[in-house]
Amino acid sequence: MPSITKRGKRYRVLIRKKGYPVISKSFLNKKNAETFAKDTESRIERGVFLDTFLAEKTTFLDLVERYEIEISPSKKGHRIDLYVARSLKRALGEYKLAQIQPFVVSQYRDKRLKVVQPATVKRELGLLSRILTASEKEFGIYLPHGNPVRKVSIPKEPPGRDRRLEEDELEKLLIQFSQNQRMKLVVLLAIETGMRRGEICRIRHQDINWDISVLHIPETKNGTPRTIPLSSVARSTLRGAVTVSKASSCVFDVEPHSITRAFERACKRANIDNLRFHDLRHEATSRFFEKGLNVMEVASITGHQDLRMLRRYTHIRAETLVDRL
C-alpha cells in the first residue's frame, strides 16, 4: 500500500512494489497526493505503469551533454551537432524532460524563425528529435509526452538555390587564385567532379587510380562510398595537386572552413555577388546533364541517393538544349 506522510507543508507519497523502483513524489495538496497514489498503484496492478521519475529529474542540458559524450561521436555529423546543439542548450537547457511538450517546441521554433533561416531551424529540430529519441531508446528515460518534435510542424525550406557561374566568373576566380595554386586546383576539381569540399579535403594519394582514371571516395556525407570517373581536366588538376603535396597523406592538405573563407575573400575581391563554394557542385551537376549524361549516371558521380534532391541541384540552361531539339 502507498504511504502518505506530511513533511512541513508538503505531502510525500512513497510506493514500494516488488519488481518496480521505489516511487516517491511530494505534493502541496493532500487530495492530489492521494489521487496520485491511487492512480499509480492501479497502473502498477494493471501492468501499464511507466516511471516518469527520470524525465522529471533530468534536465535537457544533462541529456544533451550525455548524448554528446555517448552517442554523437559515433555519427558523421558529430562536429556539426555540437555547433547546432548550442542554441538548444541556451533555450531548453533548464527544462526537465517531462516539461518539454509540443507547445514548448513550437514556441522555440517560432522564436528561432525570427532570427535564422527555416533550414537552420529544421536542422535544430532534427537534432532535438534525435536527442529525445536517444533518451528513450538508449538511456531508458521514459518521456510522458513522447517525442514532442514529431507533434509540431517543421518549417519548410525555400526553393533550392539556382546560382550558376556566369560567363566570366570562373576566369575572374582563377585570376584571384593566381598566387594560391592549391585553391585554384580545388575550384577546378569541384567544377569537374561535383565533389563536396569535405570530400576534396580528404582525398588521399592511394584513392586515385591513374591507370583507369577513377577516384575512390571512401567517406561521404550520406555514408555510402563511391568511385567517380575523372575527366582529362580533373586528372591534370589532381596531378598538379599531387605534385604540390607529395609530403602529405592528403592531396590538398587543407581544412573545409579554410576553403570557404578563401573562396569568400576571392569573390569579394573579384566583385562576384551571391556565389558560394557549394554552388560549384550545382554547376558541375548541371554541366553533367548538359553533356548528355542521364540521371543515374549523374547520381553515381555526385552521390545523390534522393533523385528529388538531385533535381534541386540541377539547373540546365535552356540555350544548351536548342541544338538537341
Examine the domain organization and report whether 125 and 198 are in the same domain: no
Q: Is the pLDDT at 181 greater than 80, yes or no?
A: yes
CB 196 within 8 A of CB 221: yes
**What three-state secondary structure class fits 27?**
strand
The total number of structural domains that make up the chain = 3
Q: Is residue 158 part of a domain?
A: no
Per the DSSP assignment, residues forming a β-bridge with 171 are none
Q: What percent of the chain has pLDDT over 70?
A: 89
Q: Is residue 162 part of a domain?
A: no
Find the catalytic residue in 221, 239, 265, 317.
221
Is 313 annotated as catalytic?
Answer: yes
Is 278 annotated as catalytic?
Answer: yes
CA dihedral 308, 73, 138, 53 (to 10 degrees): -110
Examine the domain organization and report whether 73 and 45 are in the same domain: no
Examine the domain organization and report whether 35 and 76 are in the same domain: no
CA-angle at 293, arms to 288 and 295, nearest 5°: 95
Examine the domain organization and report whether 255 and 304 are in the same domain: yes
CA of 91: how far to CAs of 9, 101, 111, 148, 286, in Å? 32, 14, 10, 16, 41
Is 196 annotated as catalytic?
Answer: yes
Confidence bin at 247 (pLDDT 50/70/90): low
Examine the domain organization and report whether 120 and 182 are in the same domain: no
Is 78 annotated as catalytic?
Answer: no
Examine the domain organization and report whether 39 and 63 are in the same domain: no
N-terminal to C-terminal alpha carbon distance within the chain: 84
pTM over 0.75: no
Question: The domain spanning residue 202 has which CATH number?
Answer: 1.10.443.10
pLDDT for position 19: 67
C-alpha closest to that of 241 among 231, 226, 254: 254
| 23: containing domain | 3-49
* pLDDT tens sequence across 62-96: 999 999 999 888 877 778 888 899 999 999 999 99
Find the catalytic residue in 161, 278, 312, 315.
278
Find the catalytic residue in 112, 196, 282, 287.
196
User: How far apart, in whole angstroms, are the C-alpha atoms of residue 271 and residue 320?
Assistant: 27
Find the catalytic residue in 123, 197, 287, 304.
304
Question: The domain spanning residue 102 has which CATH number?
Answer: 1.10.150.130
CB 217 within 8 A of CB 211: no
Give residue 275's identity as a one-letter amino acid code.
Answer: L
Q: Is residue 164 part of a domain?
A: no
Is 312 annotated as catalytic?
Answer: no
Q: Is residue 159 part of a domain?
A: no
Q: Is residue 16 part of a domain?
A: yes
Examine the domain organization and report whether 195 and 309 are in the same domain: yes
Examine the domain organization and report whether 295 and 180 are in the same domain: yes
Q: Is residue 157 part of a domain?
A: no
Find the catalytic residue in 109, 123, 184, 281.
281
Give residue 242's identity as a one-letter amino acid code.
Answer: V
CA-angle at 274, arms to 179 and 124, nearest 5°: 110
Q: Is the pLDDT at 48 greater than 60, yes or no?
A: no
